[in-house]
Structure 1
């Protein structure tokens, strides 16, 4: 499992367009928006047939995005129990 949380900066008048674009990106969900500050909180989760990194890139390069900050990332890859 891979999960990332992003803060997307954009002009508030473009939020609706961005949310529409983000619905088409696998594993992406918009959780909050602050029109006053021009921020959106977005999570990206991996799934079968796509990687988190591809979805993060798609979020970052979407039309009307001014900047994206990676706020949090989690992976459970490599956490298998090891024998002592």
Structure 2
């Protein structure tokens, strides 16, 4: 499992266009936006047939995105279950 949280910055008038664009990308969830500042929060997860990295790149290449900040990233790759 891989997941990342992103803060996107766009022109406030483009927030709705951004939302419809990024929600077409596999693994992206929209969590909210501030219409005054143009900041939006999304998470990106991996899944069957697509990677988190590919979806993250897709979000970064959305035409409305002015800047993107990776706020959080988690992966359980390499973790093994251990008995206590």
| Superposition TM-score, scaled by structure 2 size | 0.93
Tell me the CA shift for residue 64 of structure 1: 1.2
Q: Which runs of 5+ in 2 are unaligned?
A: none
1:1-56 deviations in Å (ceiling 9; x for gaps)? 10000000001110111111112100001101011121000000100000000000
Q: Give the root-mean-square deviation of aligned CA atoms.
A: 1.3
- Give unmatched runs, 5+ long, in structure 1: none
What is the number of residues matched between the two proteins? 83
Quick one: distance in 1 between partners of 2:45 and 2:78?
17
**Cα distance, 1:81 vs structure 2:** 3.8
| TM-score of the superposed pair, with normalisation by structure 1 | 0.93
- Alignment pair present for 1:58 and 2:53: no
- Displaced runs of 4 or more, over 4 A: none
